[in-house]
Amino acid sequence: MKGFSIIIVTWNALDHLKNFLPSVTETDYPDFEIIIADNASGDGSKEWIRSTYPEIKIASFDRNYGYCGGNNRAVPFAEKEILLFLNNDVKVSKNWLHGLNKAFTETDIAAAQPKIRSFKQSDYFEYAGAAGGFIDKFGYPFCRGRIFDEVEKDEAQYDQSSEIFWASGAALAIQKDLFIESDGFDEDFEFHMEEIDLCWRLQNQGHRIGYVPNSVVYHLGGGSLPMGSPRKVYYNFRNSLFMLWKNYSSTNLRKRFLLRLFLDAIAAWKALLEGKPKEWLAVAKAHLHFFRDLAKVSQKRKKLQRNRTNPDDPETMFNISLIWQYFVRSINQFRDLKTD
Protein backbone atom coordinates (compact mmCIF):
# COMPACT_ATOMS: atom_id res chain seq x y z
CA MET A 1 0.00 0.00 0.00
CA LYS A 2 1.29 3.43 -0.99
CA GLY A 3 1.39 6.42 1.30
CA PHE A 4 0.15 9.76 -0.06
CA SER A 5 1.29 13.27 0.83
CA ILE A 6 -1.58 15.56 -0.23
CA ILE A 7 -0.20 19.05 -0.91
CA ILE A 8 -2.65 21.95 -1.18
CA VAL A 9 -1.32 25.36 -2.21
CA THR A 10 -3.34 28.33 -0.98
CA TRP A 11 -3.15 32.11 -0.90
CA ASN A 12 -5.86 34.16 0.83
CA ALA A 13 -8.45 31.47 0.10
CA LEU A 14 -9.91 30.79 3.53
CA ASP A 15 -13.41 30.35 2.08
CA HIS A 16 -12.16 27.60 -0.24
CA LEU A 17 -10.40 25.86 2.64
CA LYS A 18 -13.56 25.94 4.76
CA ASN A 19 -15.66 24.57 1.89
CA PHE A 20 -13.35 21.93 0.43
CA LEU A 21 -10.73 20.86 2.99
CA PRO A 22 -13.23 18.93 5.19
CA SER A 23 -13.81 16.37 2.43
CA VAL A 24 -10.06 15.78 2.16
CA THR A 25 -9.70 15.25 5.90
CA GLU A 26 -12.56 12.70 5.77
CA THR A 27 -10.74 10.54 3.20
CA ASP A 28 -11.22 6.83 3.93
CA TYR A 29 -7.65 5.55 3.51
CA PRO A 30 -5.14 4.39 6.12
CA ASP A 31 -1.94 6.12 4.99
CA PHE A 32 -2.04 9.78 4.00
CA GLU A 33 -1.01 13.18 5.28
CA ILE A 34 -2.19 16.70 4.35
CA ILE A 35 0.23 19.57 3.85
CA ILE A 36 -1.03 23.11 3.36
CA ALA A 37 1.47 25.17 1.33
CA ASP A 38 0.58 28.69 2.43
CA ASN A 39 1.85 31.44 0.13
CA ALA A 40 1.92 34.15 2.82
CA SER A 41 -1.86 34.40 3.24
CA GLY A 42 -3.13 37.31 5.30
CA ASP A 43 -6.73 36.19 5.75
CA GLY A 44 -6.35 33.96 8.81
CA SER A 45 -5.96 30.70 6.85
CA LYS A 46 -3.09 29.38 8.98
CA GLU A 47 -4.83 30.24 12.25
CA TRP A 48 -8.05 28.53 11.15
CA ILE A 49 -6.21 25.36 10.10
CA ARG A 50 -4.26 25.20 13.37
CA SER A 51 -7.41 25.50 15.44
CA THR A 52 -9.66 23.28 13.30
CA TYR A 53 -7.25 20.62 12.00
CA PRO A 54 -4.16 20.62 14.24
CA GLU A 55 -2.96 17.36 12.65
CA ILE A 56 -2.43 19.07 9.27
CA LYS A 57 1.08 20.24 8.44
CA ILE A 58 1.53 23.85 7.35
CA ALA A 59 4.41 24.84 5.08
CA SER A 60 4.39 28.60 5.55
CA PHE A 61 6.24 30.79 3.04
CA ASP A 62 7.42 34.40 3.13
CA ARG A 63 5.60 35.46 -0.05
CA ASN A 64 3.31 34.21 -2.80
CA TYR A 65 5.30 31.75 -4.93
CA GLY A 66 2.30 30.77 -7.04
CA TYR A 67 1.22 27.23 -7.87
CA CYS A 68 4.60 25.98 -9.11
CA GLY A 69 6.76 27.58 -6.45
CA GLY A 70 4.41 26.80 -3.60
CA ASN A 71 4.17 23.13 -4.51
CA ASN A 72 7.91 22.77 -5.07
CA ARG A 73 8.68 24.32 -1.67
CA ALA A 74 6.19 22.06 0.10
CA VAL A 75 7.74 18.81 -1.15
CA PRO A 76 10.51 18.71 1.53
CA PHE A 77 7.73 18.54 4.14
CA ALA A 78 6.30 15.37 2.53
CA GLU A 79 7.02 12.03 4.22
CA LYS A 80 5.08 9.67 1.92
CA GLU A 81 6.18 8.06 -1.35
CA ILE A 82 3.43 9.51 -3.55
CA LEU A 83 2.93 13.26 -3.82
CA LEU A 84 -0.62 14.36 -4.59
CA PHE A 85 -0.95 17.99 -5.65
CA LEU A 86 -4.56 19.02 -5.02
CA ASN A 87 -6.15 22.39 -5.76
CA ASN A 88 -7.78 24.13 -2.81
CA ASP A 89 -11.15 24.14 -4.60
CA VAL A 90 -11.47 20.37 -5.01
CA LYS A 91 -13.93 18.17 -3.15
CA VAL A 92 -12.93 14.51 -3.01
CA SER A 93 -14.98 11.34 -2.65
CA LYS A 94 -14.32 9.36 0.51
CA ASN A 95 -12.54 6.43 -1.14
CA TRP A 96 -10.69 8.39 -3.83
CA LEU A 97 -7.20 7.27 -2.77
CA HIS A 98 -7.95 3.55 -3.10
CA GLY A 99 -8.11 3.64 -6.90
CA LEU A 100 -4.94 5.70 -7.11
CA ASN A 101 -3.18 3.31 -4.74
CA LYS A 102 -4.13 0.36 -6.92
CA ALA A 103 -2.84 2.14 -10.03
CA PHE A 104 0.55 2.89 -8.48
CA THR A 105 0.79 -0.55 -6.87
CA GLU A 106 -0.16 -2.69 -9.85
CA THR A 107 1.34 -0.68 -12.75
CA ASP A 108 4.59 1.15 -13.47
CA ILE A 109 3.06 4.60 -13.95
CA ALA A 110 5.05 7.64 -12.86
CA ALA A 111 2.04 9.92 -12.40
CA ALA A 112 -1.75 9.77 -12.56
CA GLN A 113 -4.96 11.72 -12.20
CA PRO A 114 -8.43 10.72 -11.01
CA LYS A 115 -11.63 11.38 -12.94
CA ILE A 116 -12.37 15.09 -12.50
CA ARG A 117 -15.99 16.18 -12.51
CA SER A 118 -17.42 19.67 -12.17
CA PHE A 119 -18.29 20.76 -8.64
CA LYS A 120 -21.14 22.93 -9.97
CA GLN A 121 -22.51 20.29 -12.37
CA SER A 122 -21.48 17.01 -10.82
CA ASP A 123 -22.69 14.84 -13.71
CA TYR A 124 -20.39 16.70 -16.15
CA PHE A 125 -16.65 16.54 -16.54
CA GLU A 126 -14.62 19.52 -15.39
CA TYR A 127 -12.65 21.63 -17.85
CA ALA A 128 -9.23 21.22 -16.20
CA GLY A 129 -8.52 17.53 -16.63
CA ALA A 130 -11.83 15.71 -17.19
CA ALA A 131 -10.95 12.06 -17.99
CA GLY A 132 -7.27 12.62 -18.76
CA GLY A 133 -5.29 15.06 -20.85
CA PHE A 134 -3.75 14.92 -24.33
CA ILE A 135 -2.17 17.34 -26.80
CA ASP A 136 -2.18 17.47 -30.58
CA LYS A 137 0.96 17.68 -32.73
CA PHE A 138 1.03 21.49 -32.43
CA GLY A 139 0.80 21.44 -28.65
CA TYR A 140 -2.88 22.31 -28.14
CA PRO A 141 -4.14 20.56 -24.99
CA PHE A 142 -7.49 18.81 -24.70
CA CYS A 143 -9.07 16.06 -22.63
CA ARG A 144 -11.21 13.02 -22.89
CA GLY A 145 -14.45 14.78 -22.07
CA ARG A 146 -13.39 18.33 -23.04
CA ILE A 147 -12.27 19.88 -26.33
CA PHE A 148 -11.68 23.64 -26.12
CA ASP A 149 -14.77 24.90 -24.23
CA GLU A 150 -17.00 21.91 -25.07
CA VAL A 151 -17.43 19.77 -21.95
CA GLU A 152 -19.18 16.39 -22.05
CA LYS A 153 -21.57 14.82 -19.59
CA ASP A 154 -20.05 11.86 -17.76
CA GLU A 155 -22.03 8.87 -18.99
CA ALA A 156 -19.34 6.27 -18.18
CA GLN A 157 -17.93 6.64 -21.70
CA TYR A 158 -14.41 7.06 -20.29
CA ASP A 159 -14.48 4.58 -17.44
CA GLN A 160 -11.49 2.53 -18.58
CA SER A 161 -8.07 2.99 -17.03
CA SER A 162 -5.72 4.21 -19.72
CA GLU A 163 -2.44 5.87 -20.54
CA ILE A 164 -2.71 9.63 -21.10
CA PHE A 165 -0.39 12.45 -22.12
CA TRP A 166 -0.87 14.67 -19.09
CA ALA A 167 -2.47 14.53 -15.68
CA SER A 168 -4.26 17.62 -14.44
CA GLY A 169 -2.60 19.80 -11.82
CA ALA A 170 -5.97 20.07 -10.10
CA ALA A 171 -5.36 16.55 -8.74
CA LEU A 172 -1.96 15.23 -9.80
CA ALA A 173 -0.40 12.19 -8.12
CA ILE A 174 3.27 11.45 -8.82
CA GLN A 175 6.06 9.32 -7.41
CA LYS A 176 8.03 11.60 -5.09
CA ASP A 177 11.47 10.41 -6.19
CA LEU A 178 10.65 11.03 -9.86
CA PHE A 179 9.25 14.48 -9.11
CA ILE A 180 12.47 15.42 -7.34
CA GLU A 181 14.69 13.85 -10.03
CA SER A 182 12.77 15.82 -12.67
CA ASP A 183 13.34 19.12 -10.81
CA GLY A 184 9.64 19.47 -10.07
CA PHE A 185 7.45 22.10 -11.67
CA ASP A 186 9.18 24.68 -13.86
CA GLU A 187 8.70 27.88 -11.87
CA ASP A 188 9.14 30.06 -14.95
CA PHE A 189 5.63 28.89 -15.90
CA GLU A 190 4.15 30.47 -12.73
CA PHE A 191 0.62 29.28 -13.56
CA HIS A 192 -0.91 27.12 -16.28
CA MET A 193 0.46 24.14 -18.27
CA GLU A 194 3.20 23.37 -15.75
CA GLU A 195 1.72 19.90 -15.26
CA ILE A 196 1.69 19.23 -19.02
CA ASP A 197 5.33 20.24 -19.21
CA LEU A 198 6.19 17.93 -16.29
CA CYS A 199 4.31 14.97 -17.78
CA TRP A 200 5.97 15.53 -21.18
CA ARG A 201 9.39 15.55 -19.53
CA LEU A 202 8.59 12.31 -17.75
CA GLN A 203 7.50 10.62 -20.97
CA ASN A 204 10.65 11.77 -22.76
CA GLN A 205 12.52 9.85 -20.07
CA GLY A 206 10.50 6.70 -20.74
CA HIS A 207 7.84 7.00 -18.01
CA ARG A 208 4.08 6.60 -18.33
CA ILE A 209 1.13 8.71 -17.14
CA GLY A 210 -2.17 7.11 -16.12
CA TYR A 211 -5.86 7.94 -15.79
CA VAL A 212 -7.74 6.34 -12.87
CA PRO A 213 -11.54 6.47 -13.43
CA ASN A 214 -12.54 4.77 -10.18
CA SER A 215 -11.06 7.67 -8.22
CA VAL A 216 -13.41 10.66 -8.46
CA VAL A 217 -12.99 14.31 -7.41
CA TYR A 218 -15.05 17.45 -8.01
CA HIS A 219 -13.29 20.66 -9.06
CA LEU A 220 -14.77 24.16 -8.81
CA GLY A 221 -12.15 25.70 -11.13
CA GLY A 222 -11.61 29.15 -12.57
CA GLY A 223 -10.33 30.71 -9.35
CA SER A 224 -6.73 31.82 -9.90
CA LEU A 225 -7.02 32.37 -13.67
CA PRO A 226 -10.63 33.06 -14.74
CA MET A 227 -11.67 31.86 -18.18
CA GLY A 228 -11.26 34.50 -20.88
CA SER A 229 -9.11 36.86 -18.85
CA PRO A 230 -6.17 38.49 -20.70
CA ARG A 231 -3.88 37.17 -17.96
CA LYS A 232 -4.97 33.60 -18.67
CA VAL A 233 -4.54 34.19 -22.41
CA TYR A 234 -1.01 35.45 -21.77
CA TYR A 235 0.03 32.43 -19.70
CA ASN A 236 -1.70 30.06 -22.11
CA PHE A 237 0.27 31.27 -25.13
CA ARG A 238 3.59 32.01 -23.42
CA ASN A 239 3.74 28.75 -21.50
CA SER A 240 2.77 26.75 -24.59
CA LEU A 241 5.83 28.16 -26.35
CA PHE A 242 8.03 27.42 -23.34
CA MET A 243 6.76 23.84 -23.21
CA LEU A 244 7.06 23.13 -26.93
CA TRP A 245 10.56 24.53 -27.23
CA LYS A 246 11.75 22.52 -24.23
CA ASN A 247 10.19 19.17 -25.09
CA TYR A 248 9.62 18.64 -28.81
CA SER A 249 11.81 15.98 -30.38
CA SER A 250 14.61 17.29 -32.60
CA THR A 251 12.80 15.80 -35.59
CA ASN A 252 9.65 17.87 -35.09
CA LEU A 253 10.86 21.01 -33.32
CA ARG A 254 11.45 23.47 -36.14
CA LYS A 255 8.62 22.54 -38.51
CA ARG A 256 5.92 22.22 -35.89
CA PHE A 257 7.09 25.18 -33.83
CA LEU A 258 6.99 27.49 -36.84
CA LEU A 259 3.50 26.30 -37.69
CA ARG A 260 2.43 26.91 -34.09
CA LEU A 261 3.73 30.49 -34.30
CA PHE A 262 1.63 30.95 -37.45
CA LEU A 263 -1.48 29.57 -35.72
CA ASP A 264 -0.89 31.86 -32.75
CA ALA A 265 -0.73 34.86 -35.09
CA ILE A 266 -4.09 33.86 -36.60
CA ALA A 267 -5.58 33.56 -33.09
CA ALA A 268 -4.28 37.01 -32.15
CA TRP A 269 -5.70 38.75 -35.20
CA LYS A 270 -8.98 36.87 -34.82
CA ALA A 271 -9.28 38.29 -31.30
CA LEU A 272 -8.60 41.79 -32.59
CA LEU A 273 -11.22 41.49 -35.34
CA GLU A 274 -13.73 40.27 -32.74
CA GLY A 275 -13.19 43.44 -30.73
CA LYS A 276 -10.90 41.94 -28.07
CA PRO A 277 -7.80 44.16 -28.15
CA LYS A 278 -6.68 43.06 -24.68
CA GLU A 279 -6.48 39.43 -25.88
CA TRP A 280 -4.48 40.52 -28.94
CA LEU A 281 -2.09 42.39 -26.65
CA ALA A 282 -1.82 39.37 -24.33
CA VAL A 283 -0.78 37.10 -27.23
CA ALA A 284 1.72 39.68 -28.50
CA LYS A 285 3.17 40.06 -25.00
CA ALA A 286 3.41 36.28 -24.63
CA HIS A 287 5.44 35.98 -27.82
CA LEU A 288 7.64 38.94 -26.93
CA HIS A 289 8.47 37.42 -23.54
CA PHE A 290 9.13 34.01 -25.05
CA PHE A 291 11.73 35.37 -27.44
CA ARG A 292 13.18 37.55 -24.67
CA ASP A 293 13.72 34.37 -22.62
CA LEU A 294 14.68 32.13 -25.53
CA ALA A 295 18.31 31.71 -24.44
CA LYS A 296 17.23 30.56 -20.99
CA VAL A 297 14.62 28.17 -22.37
CA SER A 298 17.17 26.80 -24.85
CA GLN A 299 19.53 25.98 -21.98
CA LYS A 300 16.75 24.00 -20.35
CA ARG A 301 16.12 22.20 -23.63
CA LYS A 302 19.78 21.19 -23.91
CA LYS A 303 19.73 19.69 -20.44
CA LEU A 304 16.47 17.84 -21.07
CA GLN A 305 17.65 16.49 -24.42
CA ARG A 306 20.79 15.07 -22.78
CA ASN A 307 18.64 13.15 -20.30
CA ARG A 308 16.14 12.01 -22.91
CA THR A 309 15.71 8.27 -23.45
CA ASN A 310 12.88 8.49 -26.01
CA PRO A 311 14.14 10.27 -29.18
CA ASP A 312 10.63 10.62 -30.61
CA ASP A 313 7.65 12.51 -29.29
CA PRO A 314 5.46 10.42 -26.94
CA GLU A 315 3.04 7.93 -28.50
CA THR A 316 0.27 9.57 -26.47
CA MET A 317 0.62 12.75 -28.56
CA PHE A 318 -2.26 12.85 -31.07
CA ASN A 319 -1.02 13.18 -34.65
CA ILE A 320 -3.82 15.59 -35.54
CA SER A 321 -4.49 19.31 -35.76
CA LEU A 322 -7.07 20.06 -33.09
CA ILE A 323 -7.73 23.45 -34.69
CA TRP A 324 -8.66 21.75 -37.97
CA GLN A 325 -10.80 19.10 -36.28
CA TYR A 326 -12.74 21.59 -34.16
CA PHE A 327 -13.13 24.67 -36.35
CA VAL A 328 -13.28 23.03 -39.80
CA ARG A 329 -14.69 19.56 -39.19
CA SER A 330 -16.88 20.73 -36.26
CA ILE A 331 -15.73 17.85 -34.05
CA ASN A 332 -16.27 18.65 -30.39
CA GLN A 333 -16.08 15.28 -28.65
CA PHE A 334 -12.98 13.21 -27.96
CA ARG A 335 -14.35 9.97 -29.35
CA ASP A 336 -15.02 11.60 -32.76
CA LEU A 337 -11.46 12.87 -33.35
CA LYS A 338 -10.00 11.58 -36.61
CA THR A 339 -6.39 11.16 -37.65
CA ASP A 340 -5.44 13.81 -40.23
Domain range annotation of the chain:
4-219, 230-308
pTM: 0.96
The DSSP-derived string for 79-91 is -SSEEEEE-TTEE
Model pLDDT, residue 225:
56
Strand order in the sheet with 141-143: 133-135, 141-143, 146-147, 150-151
Rounded CA gap, 194 and 200, in Å?
10
> What is the rounded distance in angstroms from the CA atom of residue 138 to the CA atom of residue 150?
19
pLDDT of residue 339: 76
For the domain covering 4-219, report its CATH number. 3.90.550.10
Mean pLDDT of the chain: 95
* CB distance 115 to 154 below 8 Å: yes
pLDDT score of 74: 98
Distance CA 276, CA 53 (A): 46
**Three-state SS for 326?**
helix
Tell me what percent of the chain is helix, strand and coil, each rounded to the nearest 5: 40, 20, 40
Those residues of the chain that have pLDDT short of 70 are 222-228, 340
- Evaluate whether 116 touches 85 at the Cβ level (below 8 Å): no
pLDDT of amino acid 221:
84
Euclidean distance between CA atoms 340 and 326, whole angstroms = 12
Burial class (CB in 10 A: 0-12, 13-18, 19+), 78: buried
Angle at 255 between CA 254 and CA 258, to 5 degrees: 80
Please tell me the predicted confidence (pLDDT) of residue 223.
Answer: 55
Are 41 and 120 contacting, i.e. CB atoms less than 8 angstroms apart? no
